[in-house]
Every structure is written in C-alpha cells, then in structure tokens.
C-alpha cells in the first residue's frame, strides 16, 4: 500500500454552519483550566464509517444537507462552539465570543482510498492533512470534514479547540449532533451546562501545601535527540481480563493497562534503577468536587496527576503493586486538591507555545478515553467502525482508547508516540507480559 503522503483529497465544498435558532450573544469567560489547555490548539480526530449498498441506497449515505441541518440544531444548545476565540477588552484574558458565526463544514472526496486503506494509517501529520479541515482563521472553534471514499465509505474528520472543551465535552457534542441527524424531532439529548463560574478560582487563591506533590502543572519538552515512531497496539478483551485479574480484584482497566505500560517503558528505556520515573495522566474532576460538577458540564474539567517512583521499583514490582500506586494517586484527588489546582493555574504564567518535541525518557504521559462514548456517533447510517486521534506528535505520549471496532469487540487500543530506538522493545515486553498474565 502507498503511504498517506502519496494520496490526495479533493475539497468539493467549504461552508459555515450557523445555529438554526438565535443563541446567546456574549463573551464566555474561560476558567484557568481552559486557559491551561489553550496552547494545545485544535484536537484532530477521525470517525470512519463503512457503507453497505442497502443502507446507502435507502437513505443517501451521509447526506450533507441532513448533516448540516442536524449540526445547526445542535449548535443552538452548544452555542459557544459556533463562536470565535477572542480577548476580553477589560482584562486581556482569552474568552469565547459567542456571536453565532458558525462552524466550518468541509466536504471532500478521496478517489483512491477505501475504508481498509484508512484503517491501516497511523496517526500522523499526513493523516490529519487528508481528513481534518485546515482551519483559517484559527479563532474558529469547531471544524469538520466529510470525506467520501471510493468504496462508498466516509471519514468524518473533526477539530475542536481545546480551550473550549475537553474530551468528554467533545463526545457530548458529537452524541447530540448525531442524535439530531438520526432521530430529528424525536431525538433525546442531554442539554449542556455552560456555567464555567463553577470552576472559578477562590478569592484569594489558596494552594494546599501538599497539592503540588499530587498534580503535575506542566510538561518540559526537549528537542528530539533521535527520530520518533508511532505504533498502534491492541489488547483484546480476554487479555485485559487476565491483566486485571493479575493486578488484583477491583483494579480498573486504566490502572492495569497504565501499570503495564509504565513498567514496560521503564525497562525498555534502560533507565538507571536509582533514577526517578514519573507517570502523568489527565484526571476528570467532575465527580471529585463538592458539590460535584454536573456530568454535562462543557469545558475543561481535568488536570494532570503525577506519580514519581524509583525506576528499580517500577521495573521489578509485581504489576498489582504498580497499579496500586496509580489507584492511590487517583483516590487522593479530593475537593481540596481540585480547588488548589484551579487556584494554581489562575496564578501561574500560561505557556502560549504549542507542545512540541519529546518528554524526558524518565516521564511517561498516558491519556485515557476508556469508557468514553467514542462510538456513540451514529448519524443514521450506523456506528463508526473506527474512531481515533488523527495526529500524535509529542514523544513520550500514549493514548488509551476503546477498541470496539464498531461491533462491540471490546479491548483497548494503544496509540504510542515514542523514541524509535525503544518502541519495538516496549511492544515486545508488553505482549510478553500479557502472555504471562494469561497463564495465571
């Protein structure tokens, strides 16, 4: 198969979709957690749909007019996504100008690509170039691209600015949009909560003395000392079950898989046993605050937790012990830690430069979308066969995703962006340990 660099996509149409009803026009204040994520820019993802001749003939597979009408309806409730990023005139703080200007909607054709071709691509700048719309101006918050493949399938490429939403908020929007497309007036949707004052810093901001031992404010990136490589690995449902059994009763999939990944990475990188290794990961605070944040809250409701341990311990401990360290950090995330983190970021100087390069080899960052409604985006023609990030460009990052394959097969998909010299050894160790886990 040719590489993604050898393919081209032809843009057929580019338009703006505005809310179908008048929406509030105002400046939407952004919390310190929103501003902290702003330099990450737009998060690129793809949804891959396979058409059957029966479905396509019966109801115009991915009818563009139907999709636009449904998006216009969804943007009534999600009106900030139809706005533009701007600066408040009074305090110079970034905000969302809720002006109803709309979302970018691109229609394209890929005459040489099939669903099977797209499934073989790894997250990369080229994959993003093909299927995620080029956003200009950058103040646009939401952009989508519907690309029709030669086999009749469709790639839905999406880009949502991280200052506006986190992953759970983004999935809520796509659930709503797809529900309006599939069910029309009969759609049942959960209205979003836009009250970002719920995450306003205390006055005066107060940081608990122990808070900085728990949450990890920012990453330090360095220039590449060698090439990076991207690998996509899968762990089957049975392998996940064996791994969780090995780690002990009640261990979550996230803790078990993260423990496995951290241990394999420490060994493969041949770190000094006496050095300190750090694992960081985003933690959702919606249920950790008192009172808890509404589950339908739209915005960034997460920050990074961090665990630091001696490399020798992580490399040699039983996996259950490593998973217990991760679980322990999550269990300590309470209302005071959340408030301290919000207060910290309110006072901290924000980094306006997008993250580029690689993390130190002593640091591993794992982002989990496990348990998120990745595949709840049925626009009326079936659920996606694949949902994935379109690009991963920072070394030392791993994404954990549901591996449903559109048919509920379960399991976990790992998207790794690692130093090329170590990535194959990480893969070898991971599958070797999974094989051992199956023997217990």
Q: In this structure, are 235 and 286 located in the same domain?
A: yes
Kind and range of the H or E run holding 27: strand 26-29
Q: In this structure, are 178 and 309 located in the same domain?
A: no
Is 3 domain-assigned?
no
CA nearest neighbour of 379 among 4, 31, 35, 73 = 73
Is 337 domain-assigned?
yes
Q: In this structure, are 120 and 93 located in the same domain?
A: yes
Strand partners, 155: 48, 147
Average pLDDT over residues 92-100: 97
Is 4 domain-assigned?
no
Catalytic hit among 42, 161, 162, 172: 162
Torsion 59-62-65-71 (CA) sign: positive
Confidence tier at 51 by pLDDT (50, 70, 90):
confident
Beta strands at 142-149 and 154-161: parallel, antiparallel or unpaired: antiparallel
| Omega before 204 within 30 of 0, i.e. cis | yes
Percent share of the chain, pLDDT over 70: 96
Is 427 domain-assigned?
yes
**Confidence check: pLDDT of 286 > 90:** yes
For 320-350, letters b (16+ CB in 10 Å) and e give: bebbbbbbebbeebeebbbbbbbbbbbeeee
Q: In this structure, are 122 and 75 located in the same domain?
A: yes
- Report yes or no: 123 and 161 within 8 Å, Cβ to Cβ: no
Residue 440 vs residue 275, higher pLDDT: 275
pLDDT tens per residue, range 135-156: 999 999 999 999 999 999 999 9
**Confidence check: pLDDT of 57 > 50:** no
Last residue of a domain, one of 149, 181, 199: 199
**Confidence check: pLDDT of 407 > 80:** no
Last residue of a domain, one of 146, 171, 199: 199
Lowest mean pLDDT among 125-134, 185-194, 243-252, 397-406: 397-406
**Confidence check: pLDDT of 63 > 50:** yes
pLDDT for 338 = 96
Is 2 domain-assigned?
no
pLDDT for 409 = 65
Residue 242, class by beta-carbon neighbours within 10 Å (0-12 exposed, 13-18 middle, 19+ buried)? buried
Q: In this structure, are 123 and 271 located in the same domain?
A: no
Last residue of a domain, one of 170, 199, 228: 199
Q: In this structure, are 124 and 224 located in the same domain?
A: no
Tokens of 180: 């309006």
Per-chain mean pLDDT for the chain: 93
Catalytic hit among 313, 378, 393, 405: 378
Percent share of the chain, pLDDT over 90: 86
Is 123 domain-assigned?
yes
pLDDT tens per residue, range 216-230: 888 888 887 789 999
pLDDT for 59 = 60
Kind and range of the H or E run holding 43: strand 42-49
Q: In this structure, are 140 and 217 located in the same domain?
A: no
Strand partners, 416: 231, 398
Is 57 domain-assigned?
yes
Kind and range of the H or E run holding 181: helix 167-183
Q: In this structure, are 147 and 251 located in the same domain?
A: no
pLDDT for 410 = 77
Residue 362, class by beta-carbon neighbours within 10 Å (0-12 exposed, 13-18 middle, 19+ buried)? middle
Helices 253-268, 319-331: axis angle to 10 degrees equals 120
- Report yes or no: 340 and 26 within 8 Å, Cβ to Cβ: no
Average pLDDT over residues 433-437: 95
pLDDT for 355 = 85
- The model's pTM is 0.95
Q: In this structure, are 15 and 116 located in the same domain?
A: yes
- Report yes or no: 389 and 419 within 8 Å, Cβ to Cβ: no
CATH code where residue 49 lies: 3.30.559.10
**Confidence check: pLDDT of 314 > 80:** yes
Please identify which residue in the block is written with the tokens 């050095």. Answer: 275
Is 204 domain-assigned?
no
Q: In this structure, are 145 and 175 located in the same domain?
A: yes
Average pLDDT over residues 67-83: 98
Tokens of 407: 């048919």
Q: In this structure, are 80 and 50 located in the same domain?
A: yes
Confidence tier at 56 by pLDDT (50, 70, 90):
very low
* Residue 378 is among the residues annotated as catalytic for this protein: yes
Q: In this structure, are 42 and 105 located in the same domain?
A: yes
Range of the domain at 247: 209-438
* Residue 197 is among the residues annotated as catalytic for this protein: no
Q: How many structural domains does the chain have?
A: 2
Q: Which residues contact 395 (CB under 8 A, 6 or more apart)?
A: 224, 228, 357, 358, 359, 417, 418, 419
């Amino acid at each position: 198969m040719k590489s993604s660099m050898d393919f081209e996509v032809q843009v057929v149409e580019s338009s703006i979709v505005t809310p179908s009803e008048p929406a509030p026009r105002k400046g939407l204040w952004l919390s310190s957690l929103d501003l902290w994520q702003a330099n990450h820019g737009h998060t690129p993802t793809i949804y891959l749909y396979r058409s059957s001749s029966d479905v396509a003939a019966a109801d115009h597979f991915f009818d563009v007019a139907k999709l636009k009408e449904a998006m216009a309806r969804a943007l009534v409730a999600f009106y900030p996504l139809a706005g533009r990023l701007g600066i408040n005139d009074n305090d110079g703080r970034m905000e969302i100008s809720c002006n109803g200007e709309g979302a970018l909607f691109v229609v394209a054709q890929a005459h040489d690509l099939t669903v099977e071709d797209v499934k073989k691509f790894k997250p990369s700048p080229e994959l993003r170039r093909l299927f995620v719309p080029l956003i200009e101006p950058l103040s646009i918050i939401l952009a989508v691209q519907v690309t029709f493949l030669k086999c009749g399938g469709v790639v839905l490429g999406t880009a949502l600015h991280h200052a506006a939403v986190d992953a759970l908020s983004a999935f809520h929007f796509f659930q709503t949009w797809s529900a309006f497309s599939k069910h029309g007036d009969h759609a049942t949707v959960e209205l979003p909560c836009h009250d970002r004052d719920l995450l306003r810093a205390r006055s005066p901001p107060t940081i608990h003395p122990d808070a900085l031992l728990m949450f990890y404010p920012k990453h330090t990136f360095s220039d590449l000392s060698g090439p990076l490589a991207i690998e996509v690995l899968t762990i089957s449902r049975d392998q996940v079950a064996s791994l969780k059994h090995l780690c002990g009763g009640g261990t979550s999939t996230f803790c078990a898989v993260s423990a496995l990944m951290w241990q394999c990475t420490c060994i493969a990188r041949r770190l000094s046993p006496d050095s300190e290794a750090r694992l960081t990961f985003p933690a959702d605070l919606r249920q950790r605050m008192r009172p808890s944040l509404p589950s339908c809250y739209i915005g960034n409701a997460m920050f990074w937790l961090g665990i630091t341990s001696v490399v020798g311990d992580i490399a040699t401990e039983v996996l259950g012990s490593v998973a217990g360290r991760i679980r322990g950090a999550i269990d300590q995330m309470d209302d005071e830690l959340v408030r301290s983190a919000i207060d910290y970021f309110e006072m901290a100087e924000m980094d306006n430069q997008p993250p580029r390069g690689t993390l130190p080899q002593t640091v591993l960052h794992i982002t989990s979308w496990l348990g998120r409604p990745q595949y709840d985006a049925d626009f009326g023609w079936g659920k996606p066969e694949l949902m994935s990030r379109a690009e991963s460009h920072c070394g030392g990052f791993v994404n954990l995703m549901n591996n449903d394959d559109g048919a509920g097969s379960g399991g976990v998909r790992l998207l790794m962006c690692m130093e090329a010299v170590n990535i194959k050894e990480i893969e070898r160790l991971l599958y070797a340990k999974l094989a051992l886990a199956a023997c217990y």
